[in-house]
């Protein structure tokens, strides 16, 4: 039986699969009502709608909105149209619309509500809002104007111009509209209806007709016509009121219903349009109270629309209280009922063959990486119901139509219902109607239904392919291309070869393996023609623009080195990102990373992880790789499995290089979107590169030490780690000699600072597990010493860290510490020999700092002779009075050094006492410092001990001399010495006086004290200091007292004089007070000083002060007299004091010696003459010494 004979109804009949809102032909309407399928879901929607609508028949309500939502193809537009027929209920070929549903609605209560609603007179206005909209409408009031337009058209007025419709309504209300139309037709020779758009070109005719049909004058009509555009005062309130007036003018309980298709798509993301709809519906509800209803359709539910807008549109939810959502189930049920309903015998036969065919079909109809709702037949019933279609096609085709609407349609036709799922299934069934039973309808059969509405960028590709001579050999290529286009935007159906094969099945007995082979060949052809591209396992249809970009991308050349470097990044930073191989808890090994001989990252390690991709190893035999691994320290990994990671990486690099070369801003929006998709493609390809490399490592061959390895592991990381483990074990074959490990610097520090002494000479593996390893180090140091090579800690690290040892630095340093403690080696650092007793910080620096480890020099230790040890002990006993020195060399040396350091510390303490003092013995202390500073940790033990023996005599002699210094500070000698220093200091302060006034006692005392003080070893003479001190002090005090007495007399004379002189009138109290203070201070200082020079200086200060205050007194007296001149009774006179002349007798008369009386007379005469001369000059003579 052929397929078209299986169906209950003729598949070639006109079923009007196209739903047109404005379709009014009665025969078409009749068929629509007759064949309309009421599904279980639709019964629920009819029930909910009529319950709410019927309520408005009995009582007022403002909940008069219905929001019908559903995806494209769900039948919401058809449902809206059927409701318009039912509510209007005008007979169709003699049968009322509600009558068609008596058998369709199996719920009597619902049908009763439908009859009740139909009994009420109602006008329905059904329209697609996008088709009725005008581009001149602003978003602020666009919905209002569309509502006004269709309302005007419903009443027979011109809807495109509110001014014209207002005129028509005015004439109609006056009963003059018909007269106007007749007059206009008479004047213009054209009918008014249908030619209203000529309004602005037929001005004179309109003015004359308006004046004729109304009570206007011609001038009045002309004036109105000229100002008509200024009178557009349409508001939502005025519109709602006009609708109310229209409803009220009809019979009681009349209803008006606006049925708006695709309101959701029209509003889109426009907030103003949503606000406009809300206000229009709210106003209609408030004014008409349920007599006016608004029914709308949208692909989105009202809640989703409001959420997307992000504003408060809560009021619209209250108006659209009735919300109906149509699902895919309803659309599927309609298709199966109207198209696929089979004859009873056919249904039985199909159900009977399913048990045999079912397993085969389930095997054929299978998808990979897709959701479970894309499936084959569940059972025989479904097979009989859906055949020759497959269940997955119902959901898939709906998604394809939706995605084509978004991405591939040339306009909005597809979304306006001009093509429906119903048409698609009918046309596909018609196309395969003559096929024999067993045929399956493939996905590409649906292409023709949508083709005429596709974007030219799509159809050009398909049409060009049809005319391509390279593809002309088989229509299969073109059908495959159609399938790839149809699933291009369906994310749930990736375009892998398994899924494509399922989509292209044409018969229940088809060999899918053969089909896949044919697909592979065809896909390669399409790729060669640049019509499709491969992205991983998926094949993707390319539009014209995508092909252009792909051709440009493919023309880019990528160097092989770029591919290798990029693959290295994934291999060594993602698939196997470890930079150290963890061999054990204690040992982690660096390794060099290499891919196809190209190095990745730093190359400082001793072993290599060398990976070979298909780029370099496609023709290399196992034996060659085994030989390569034998002569190197490499783990060679030859990647296995699928090598498409190379192609994927090359594609990524081409796309990225293309994007860098193009200025995105210079491209069209379409091409910018394509490049954005390419960026997503890059991310997907990069993910696949990583996954493919992971798989390639898991399936790789491993080679090391001349062997092809058997490495276990379920992941790439495990396999590489196992391979590296084998390489390490066989490369670092002395690694196992280290048994005990030091895991941290803290552990190393504990080892250095522990009190453990030298290791037992009889140590074995049980007492010291690292014995063999330490012997290796000791023997190597001895060998290098014999060769006169300098050995540093870093040198030891490098040698024993390399092959075949591989020991870590901390373990090596631990064994070096043991060798130090066992006195097998010495370690010099910055010219200083380090030891484990004192050099903790320095040892840690050398062992743990790379730079400092190069400064730490290791020396093989020489044993000190026991005779020398005995001498050192004897010297220490004599010099330091100690016998408690350690037995080992290092300990003995450190003990002696501690004693020497103590001695130096004592010397420095004594030196502090010499600050600003001339105490005896300082040179001895300096000599001690010089002697003992020669012993320090820059010397090795042998040199240290030999030097101590060599300097024995000097050190002991110095120690004996040092006793004098200790005695000096430990007795009263220091105090007596201080007294002597004080006497000499006092003499020095008054030395100029004694040079003129010589005193034998003073001179003798000073001379003897200087001998003692300047003696470097004065200790036996210090006892004489008290005698000389006392003699000096007694004599000095007598001289001082005599000088003080004379000075006091002179200062007192000055004081008396100036006090008498200040008793004149006009002298201020302040001056008198200063005079008293000055001379009181001078007299006080005379008493307190022990400095002869200071005593003499005070007499000079007194005389200067006397002259100063004489001048002050003269100024104050003069000022006083000037102020008081002319006052009666004033008897005060200013006494000008005579100038005082201070002279020394030696300056008046020069003489040397007076030996005779005559010499005396001569001296006195000369003196008398000089003194008289001064008196004659009105001077007062003051003789001073």
Model pLDDT for residues 804-825, shown as the tens digit of each residue: 999 999 999 999 999 998 888 9
Q: What is the pLDDT of residue 273?
A: 87
Give the separation between CA 166 and CA 163, rounded to whole angstroms.
Answer: 5
10 Å Cβ neighbour count for 1069?
7
Does the pLDDT at position 406 exceed 80?
A: no
Torsion of CA 1178, 1179, 1180, 1184, to 10 degrees: -160
Q: What is the pLDDT of residue 1160?
A: 84
Confidence bin at 545 (pLDDT 50/70/90): confident
Does the pLDDT at position 274 exceed 90?
A: no
Confidence bin at 361 (pLDDT 50/70/90): very high
Give the separation between CA 783 and CA 256, rounded to whole angstroms.
Answer: 114
10 Å Cβ neighbour count for 1056?
11
Model pLDDT for residues 3-33, shown as the tens digit of each residue: 999 999 999 987 765 555 555 688 889 988 9
Residue 124 has φ and ψ, to the nearest 5°, of: -120, 135
Give the separation between CA 989 and CA 983, rounded to whole angstroms.
Answer: 10
The three-state (H, E, C) secondary structure of 1040-1084, written as one string: HHHHHHHHHHHHHHHHHHHHHHCCCCCCCHHHHHHHHHHHHHHHH
* Counts for the chain of helices (H) and strands (E), in that order: 51, 21
The string of DSSP letters for 715-750 reads SHHHHHHHHHHHHHHHHSTTGGG--S---SHHHHHH
Residues 68 and 79 sit within 8 Å (Cβ to Cβ): yes
Model pLDDT for residues 443-466, shown as the tens digit of each residue: 999 998 888 778 787 888 999 999
Does the pLDDT at position 977 exceed 90?
A: no
* C-alpha distance across the termini of the chain, in Å: 166
Q: What is the pLDDT of residue 90?
A: 93
Confidence bin at 1148 (pLDDT 50/70/90): low
Task: List the single range of 336-345, 426-435, 1123-1132 with lowest mean pLDDT.
Answer: 1123-1132
Model pLDDT for residues 44-78, shown as the tens digit of each residue: 999 999 999 999 988 998 889 999 998 777 788 89
CA angle 469, 473, 474 (to 5 degrees): 120
Express as a percent the part of the chain with pLDDT over 90: 50
Please name the helix (run of DSSP H) or strand (run of DSSP E) that holds residue 944, with its range, or none: helix 941-950
Model pLDDT for residues 564-622, shown as the tens digit of each residue: 999 999 999 999 999 999 998 889 999 999 999 999 999 989 899 999 999 987 778 88
Structure tokens at 921: 């013995």
Q: Is 778 in a helix, a strand, or coil?
A: helix
Q: What is the pLDDT of residue 811?
A: 96
Give the separation between CA 278 and CA 309, rounded to whole angstroms.
Answer: 13
Model pLDDT for residues 1159-1169, shown as the tens digit of each residue: 788 888 878 87
Q: What is the pLDDT of residue 1112?
A: 92
Q: What is the pTM assigned to this prediction?
A: 0.58
Please name the helix (run of DSSP H) or strand (run of DSSP E) that holds residue 333, with its range, or none: helix 328-338
Q: What is the pLDDT of residue 762?
A: 46
Does the pLDDT at position 1130 exceed 50?
A: no
Q: What is the pLDDT of residue 140?
A: 78
């Amino acid at each position: 039986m052929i397929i078209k004979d299986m169906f209950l109804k003729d598949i070639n009949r006109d079923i009007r699969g196209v739903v047109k809102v404005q379709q009014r032909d009665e025969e078409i309407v009749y068929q629509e009502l007759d064949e309309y399928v009421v599904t279980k879901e639709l019964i629920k929607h009819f029930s909910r709608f009529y319950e709410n609508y019927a309520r408005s028949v009995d009582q007022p309500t403002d909940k008069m909105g219905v929001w019908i939502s559903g995806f494209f193809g769900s039948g919401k537009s058809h449902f809206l149209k059927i409701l318009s027929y039912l509510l209007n209920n005008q007979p169709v070929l003699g049968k009322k619309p509600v009558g068609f549903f008596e058998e369709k609605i199996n719920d009597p209560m619902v049908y009763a509500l439908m009859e009740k609603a139909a009994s009420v007179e109602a006008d329905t206005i059904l329209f697609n809002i996008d088709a009725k909209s005008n581009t001149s409408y602003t978003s602020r009031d666009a919905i209002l104007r569309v509502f006004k337009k269709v309302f005007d058209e419903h009443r027979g007025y011109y809807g495109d111009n509110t001014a014209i419709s207002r005129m028509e309504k005015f004439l109609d209300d006056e009963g003059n509209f018909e007269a106007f139309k007749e007059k206009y037709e008479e004047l213009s020779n054209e009918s008014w209806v249908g030619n209203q758009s000529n309004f602005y070109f037929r001005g004179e005719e309109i003015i004359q007709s308006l004046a004729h049909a109304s009570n206007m004058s011609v001038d009045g009509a002309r004036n109105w016509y000229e100002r008509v555009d200024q009178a557009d005062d349409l508001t939502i309130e005025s519109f709602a009121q006009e609708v109310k007036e229209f409803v009220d003018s009809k019979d009681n309980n009349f209803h008006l219903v606006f049925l708006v298709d695709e309101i959701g798509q029209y509003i889109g993301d426009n907030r103003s349009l949503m606000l406009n709809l809300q206000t229009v519906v709210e106003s209609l509800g408030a004014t008409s109270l349920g007599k006016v209803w608004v029914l709308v359709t949208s692909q989105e539910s009202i809640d989703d629309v409001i959420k997307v807008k992000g504003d408060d549109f809560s009021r619209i939810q209250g108006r659209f209280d009735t919300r109906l959502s149509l699902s895919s189930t309803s659309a599927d049920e309609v298709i199966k009922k109207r198209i696929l309903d089979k004859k009873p015998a056919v249904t039985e036969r199909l159900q009977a063959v399913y048990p045999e065919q079912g397993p085969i079909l389930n095997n054929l109809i299978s998808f990979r990486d897709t959701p479970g709702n894309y499936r084959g037949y569940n059972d025989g019933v479904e097979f009989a119901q859906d055949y020759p279609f497959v269940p997955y096609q119902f959901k898939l085709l709906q998604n394809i139509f939706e995605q084509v609407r978004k991405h591939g349609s040339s306009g909005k036709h597809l979304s306006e219902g001009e093509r429906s799922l119903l048409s698609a299934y009918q046309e596909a069934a018609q196309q395969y109607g003559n096929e024999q039973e067993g045929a399956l309808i493939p996905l590409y059969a649906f292409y023709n239904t949508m083709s005429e509405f596709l974007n030219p960028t799509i159809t050009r590709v398909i049409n060009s392919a049809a005319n391509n001579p390279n593809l002309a050999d088989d229509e299969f290529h073109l059908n495959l291309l159609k399938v790839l286009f149809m699933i291009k935007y369906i994310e749930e159906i990736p375009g892998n070869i398994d899924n494509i094969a399922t989509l292209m099945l044409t018969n229940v007995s088809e060999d899918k393996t053969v089909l896949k082979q044919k697909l592979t060949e065809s896909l390669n052809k399409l790729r060669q023609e640049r019509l499709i591209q491969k992205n991983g396992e998926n094949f993707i249809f390319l539009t014209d623009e995508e092909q252009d970009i792909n051709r440009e991308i493919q023309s880019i050349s990528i160097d092989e080195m770029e591919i290798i470097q990029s693959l290295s990044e994934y291999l060594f930073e993602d698939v196997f990102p470890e930079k150290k191989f963890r061999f054990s808890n204690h040992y982690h090994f660096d390794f060099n990373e290499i891919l196809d001989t190209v190095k990745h990252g730093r190359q400082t390690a001793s072993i290599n992880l060398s990976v070979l991709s298909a780029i370099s190893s496609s023709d290399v035999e196992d034996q060659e790789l085994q030989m390569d691994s034998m002569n190197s320290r490499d783990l060679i990994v030859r990647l296995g499995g699928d090598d498409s990671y190379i192609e994927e990486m090359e594609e990524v690099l081409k796309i990225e290089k293309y994007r860098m070369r193009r200025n995105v801003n210079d491209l069209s929006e379409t091409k910018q979107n394509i490049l954005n998709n390419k960026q997503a493609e890059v991310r997907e390809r990069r993910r696949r590169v990583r996954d493919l490399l992971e798989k390639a490592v898991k399936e790789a061959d491993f080679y090391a030490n001349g062997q092809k390895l058997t490495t276990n592991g379920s992941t790439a990381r495990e396999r590489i780690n196992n391979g590296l483990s084998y390489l390490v074990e066989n490369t670092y074959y002395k690694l196992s000699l280290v048994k005990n490990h030091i895991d941290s610097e803290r552990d190393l520090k504990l080892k250095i600072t522990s009190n453990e002494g030298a290791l037992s000479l009889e140590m074995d593996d049980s007492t010291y597990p690292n014995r063999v390893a330490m012997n290796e180090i000791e023997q190597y140091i001895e060998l290098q010493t014999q060769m006169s090579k300098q050995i540093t800690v870093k040198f030891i690290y490098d040698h024993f860290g390399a092959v075949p040892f591989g020991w870590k630095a901390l373990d090596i340093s631990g064994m070096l510490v043991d060798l130090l403690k066992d006195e097998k080696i010495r370690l010099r650092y910055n010219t200083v020999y380090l030891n484990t007793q004192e050099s903790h910080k320095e040892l840690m620096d050398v062992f743990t700092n790379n730079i400092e480890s190069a400064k730490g020099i290791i020396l093989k230790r020489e044993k000190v002779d026991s005779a020398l040890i005995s001498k050192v002990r004897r010297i220490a006993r004599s010099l330091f009075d100690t016998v408690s020195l350690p037995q080992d060399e290092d300990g003995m040396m450190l003990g002696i050094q501690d004693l020497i350091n103590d001695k130096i510390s004592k010397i420095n303490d004594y030196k502090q006492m010499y600050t600003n003092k001339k105490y005896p013995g300082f040179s001895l202390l300096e000599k001690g410092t010089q002697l003992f500073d020669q012993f320090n940790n820059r010397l090795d033990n042998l040199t240290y001990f030999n030097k101590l023996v060599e300097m024995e005599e000097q050190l002991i002699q110095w120690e004996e001399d040092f006793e004098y210094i200790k005695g000096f500070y430990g007795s009263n000698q220091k105090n007596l010495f201080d007294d002597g220093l004080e006497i000499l200091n006092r003499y020095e302060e008054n030395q100029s006086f004694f040079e003129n006034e010589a005193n034998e006692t003073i001179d003798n005392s000073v001379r003897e004290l200087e001998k003692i003080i300047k003696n470097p070893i004065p200790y036996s003479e210090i006892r004489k200091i008290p005698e000389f001190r006392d003699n000096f002090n007694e004599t000095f005090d007598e001289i001082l007292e005599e000088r003080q007495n004379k000075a006091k007399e002179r200062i007192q004379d000055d004081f008396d004089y100036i006090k008498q002189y200040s008793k004149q009138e006009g002298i201020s109290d302040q001056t008198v007070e200063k005079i008293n203070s000055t001379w009181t201070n001078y007299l006080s200082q005379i008493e307190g000083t022990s400095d002869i020079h200071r005593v003499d200086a005070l007499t000079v200060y007194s005389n200067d002060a006397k002259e100063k205050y004489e001048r002050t007194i003269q100024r104050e007296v003069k000022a006083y007299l000037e102020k008081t001149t002319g006052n009666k009774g004033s008897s005060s006179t200013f006494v000008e004091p005579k100038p005082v002349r201070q002279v020394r007798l030696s300056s008046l008369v020069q003489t040397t010696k007076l030996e005779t009386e005559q010499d005396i007379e001569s001296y006195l005469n000369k003196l008398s003459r000089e003194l008289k001369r001064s008196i004659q000059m009105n001077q007062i003579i003051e003789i001073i010494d």
